[in-house]
Amino acid sequence: SLAARADAGGRMRSLAISAISSTALIKASTRVLQAIAAM
């Protein structure tokens, strides 16, 4: 059905957003760790 397809699309979008934000967090934290190590 159309509603199920829209629900699946929303779920995929939220998964993609969470994956992108988690990778951004990992990059930011590694940058912070590198800055601390450089001190």
- Give the pLDDT of residue 1: 79
Q: Mean pLDDT throughout 25-39?
A: 96
- Number of folded domains that form the chain: 1
Domain with 12, as residue range(s), is: 1-39
Model confidence pLDDT, tens digit, residues 13-30: 999 999 999 999 999 999
Quickly list H helices, 1-39.
Answer: 2-38
Torsion of CA 17, 19, 20, 24, to 10 degrees: 130
| pTM of the complete model | 0.60
- According to the model, what pLDDT value does residue 12 have? 94
